[in-house]
Amino acid sequence: MAERVQTFCRICEALCGLEVETEGGRVTAIRPDELHPISRGYACVKGTRYAGIHAAADRINYPMRRTPTGWRRISWDRALREIGARIGGDLRRRGPRSVAMYLGNPTFFNYKAMLFAQDFMAALGSPNLFASHSIDCNNKLFVAEHMYGLGMINPVPDLDHTQLLVCLGSNPAISQMSFVRAPNALARLRGVVERGGRVVTIDPRRTETAARVGEHLFIRPGTDAWLLLALAHVLFAEGLADEALLRRHGHGLESLRAALVTWTPARAAALTGVPAASIVALARDLAKADGAAVYMSTGVNMGPFGSLAYWITQVLNFATGNLDRRGGSLVPRGALDLLAFAGRRGRRPARSRDGRWRSVFDALPAGALSEEIDERRDGIRNLIVCAGDPAHSIPGGQLRPALERLDTLVCIDLFVSETASRAHYLLPATDMLERSDFPLGTMLSQIGAHVQFTEAVVPPAFERREEWQIFGDLLPACGVRPPLGNLCGSVPQINRWLGKVSRRRADPDHLLAVALAAFGATSLRQLRANPRGLALPEVEPGSFLGSRVATKDGRVDLAPAPLLADLDRLAAAEPALRERIAVEGQVEDGELALLLIGRRERRSHNSWMLNNSQLQHPPSNVALLHPGDAASLGLCEGQRAELRSESGTARLPVSLSEDVRRGVVVVPHGWGHSRSAPGQAVAAAPVGANSNTLIPGGSSHLEPVSGQAIMTAIPIRVRRCEAAEELVS
């Protein structure tokens, strides 16, 4: 008999409510939950078509071992025993640095996998945890740690009350909002305008958001830090900054004010392309608005100065009196007091082998992973990849040959990705419909005062297992006894005791119940009784500054030393930037120098949603150009162009749009599976190109402050492909 089950999507921070129809343990339909109190009947097509992922014909369903003749199915016991012997042997011979783990984006929407993966590595004693957040948001985590004391403290714009939202590097109409739970974000932005407020999008492209709501300012890629510094300069130069507030709840004001003196609107205008008068007017508007928020996302995060940009974004919100204010930016509490919880689970920052990189949010920069893999005693020889495809997602391509040098590569995933195709072992994971879950990783992003727990919608199919079980079973197979309190040891130990007296088994949800009882605003029992979730107390303005800032003195650091020092790097970049501006639009030897940026697409998410047979994808991604730039190369709509950088070459059909700033080429991320992932039949069907081919990789191309991968404002050269080249490309 058909049954309808309420759950929530875990593809992005929006956590939209879903209603799943099942029959006989099979998913037959997924719809938006019309009665969900937060998403209110909204869910994007990725969530409602998730059955295409859940029931895909090429899912990994059994443990597999690579052999000279291909993949061979083996039992779970054998897989764990063999993997444990290989990793455990290297642990004893080479030490804990011989083992590393990479966590992909979906891990952070799976609270059990996230916690158990971290404790697995802690039990091994290995500092070599790498994660996808160093690809798209390390800058935010780094700045938050230095300004507010914890990387997880990232104030959220109060969209339902603000009168002015300035949005940089974000396109909510297509991809919702990062670090913000705001289902149907476009409707919320329209609400700002409908109540008499303004939304200002600043982007090198007139995005789908900018086309539908508010105002738009074009900006030269990679120059957001100059613009933001100029806005802050105006606030202080014209006496618009609330210096009394800054002194009361912050320190470093004098250093900040001195640092801003030379970053004038005129200086910024010459580099950003945003008129100085527009910069001055926007700064004044931020100061006088009855509630304003400056918000930035991945389009700026992944630029060459993402940390500086995020620092000054926070300064702007604080200096205008809009931090911890209704209509400004708030710091939610969520159902679980993560600030107290994080303090109890705090870990010392790790260092890379050469000491160059420091961990951010418990993880080292993924862009440096390939350099850590080598045969020396302290090099990485064993890598576990959980829910990620670093070979495809990390720029530059250096990781691909490095993976071939590993003694052991284990991939825990849904599909045979580009990374997994190089693995020694594949372990089948559950998807979001096959496990219970709780939005632990997004507690502090929820402007809607609400929390929801979900049971598994259907039981795991075939021999798929949850990641927490895999880590819990693999640790003893490696010959490691976890320390007291380590999750990977706690749950298996409890189950060994229970097994002597009962058939009942503990799982992490039991530990969640204990955590909610100790630190929470509700109980797991109440959440289970309310499958659409529960309302929480509204976020109180004034509840963060002076009481919840996690720095040692409880005050915001307005001028962190690493960021002050990074201003020298920004200044040093100006001569090369001015030279590039001077030759913009000039064709040389049939090539045009452009800056590469990325964009998200409605029907994809990073690199893993393209393998969904229920989502209709075009035959290729395209290079989006301004018609004027295309005309200078003799390019017409649909013709193929060659894009070339110091890192690599890609050939793509072009699409023309005046929504793109001149001097810019836009290529969406996550494509190019046709050559790299033969285990994903749907994703491999389109031709496309992986934009990371064009983006330099390795430590020398990471933002030196935070280790963030630099993936936008990449200098490339574009030329038209001749007819013969089009036929073979």
Q: What is the pLDDT of residue 154?
A: 97
Cα dihedral 382→385→386→392 (10° resolution): 170
pLDDT at residue number 674: 64
Q: Is 657 helix (H, G, I), strand (E, B) or coil?
A: coil
C-alpha to C-alpha distance for 522 and 436, rounded to whole angstroms: 17
Instruction: Give pLDDT, residue 725.
Output: 67
Nearest to 134 by CA among 705, 605, 567, 569: 705
In contact, 519 and 336? CB cutoff 8 Å:
yes
Give the residues of the chain that fall short of pLDDT 70: 341-347, 498-500, 502, 674-678, 723-729
Residue closest to 168 by CA, chosen among 139, 145, 147: 139
What's the N-to-C CA distance of the chain in angstroms?
51
DSSP states along 7-76:
EE--SSTT--EEEEEEETTEEEEEEE-TT-TTTTT---HHHHTTHHHHT-TT---S-EEEETTEEEE--H
What structural domains does the chain harbor? 64-136+339-535 (3.40.50.740), 154-330+552-563 (3.40.228.10), 583-728 (2.40.40.20)
The torsion angles phi and psi of 709, rounded to 5 degrees, stand at -65, 135
Q: Residues 680, 416: contact at Cβ < 8 Å?
A: yes
* Residue that has been written with the tokens 């001097």 in this structure: 663
Owner of token pair 């018609």:
627
Find, among 618, 668, 611, the residue nearest to 49 by Cα. 611
- Residue 728 confidence (pLDDT): 44
Distance CA 393, CA 669 (A): 8
Q: What is the pLDDT of residue 366?
A: 98
Nearest to 101 by CA among 138, 135, 131: 131
Type of residue numbered 291: G
